[in-house]
Amino acid sequence: MPNRYKPAILVVDDEKPIRKFISLTLRRAGYAVLEAEGGLQAMAIVLSHPGEIPLAVVDIVMPGIGGLDLANQIAMDRPMTKILYISGHADSVTVDSVTRRNPAALLPKPFRIPQLLVCVREMLQSPQSPRSPRNWRTGQIEPPAEKCPDISPVFQTGPLPIRPTVVKWG
């Protein structure tokens, strides 16, 4: 019996223009997308969505439930969901924490459409490996982190200005 639910990518970012930009980019690339403006809404989606969620694109710095805590909660309910972290302003401790996770990827903002699509494709095609939140919390297991190809995790300090951009498709 075929699965009647298409796998979907969950996009979580508290900044609406960024969330909409990522979602539109992924939809135009052929992916099904679920959107959440924060951690609570994301968890409601994770718990109620009947289909597979192979990847979550999660902003690290958000009010309420931050990206790292959200990733831990997602891992408890959907251990096979991979996390692509995005951030325009994360401190070095947070970056180090992200790069230790398995599987984990870090895409610094601002990024270009090709970088996003390459990162998403690589993460979706990489071998699936179960994750254990318990291992993350205890720090007893330090598996190698998966990283997006050709993307340097260089962060700018402070919040990023949002500039209107015209994107031409096709």
* Residue in 50, 98, 48 with CA at minimum distance from that of residue 70: 98
Residue 150 lies in a domain: no
Residue 61 lies in a domain: yes
Total domains in the chain come to 1
Cα separation, 19 vs 58, in Å, equals 10
Residue 152 lies in a domain: no
Residue 3 lies in a domain: no
Residue 83, pLDDT > 60, answer yes
Domain that holds residue 30: 8-136
Q: Give the tens place of pLDDT for each residue, 100-147.
A: 654 447 888 888 999 999 989 988 988 765 444 333 333 343 343 445
pLDDT of the residue at 87: 85
CA separation, residue 105 to residues 11, 27, 79 (Å):
14, 21, 16
**Is the pTM here over 0.85, yes or no?**
no
Residue 145 lies in a domain: no
Residue 93, pLDDT > 80, answer no
Cα separation, 104 vs 59, in Å, equals 13
pLDDT of the residue at 104: 45
Task: Report residue 133 as tokens.
Answer: 């939140």
Residue 157 lies in a domain: no
pLDDT of the residue at 116: 93
13, 22 Cβ separation under 8 angstroms: yes
* Residue in 92, 28, 31 with CA at minimum distance from that of residue 56: 31
For residues 62-86, give the mean pLDDT: 91
Residue 158 lies in a domain: no
> What distance lies between CA 4 and its chain's CA centroid?
24
Range with top average pLDDT, 55-59, 65-69, 100-104: 55-59
| CATH code assigned at 116 | 3.40.50.2300
Residue 53 lies in a domain: yes
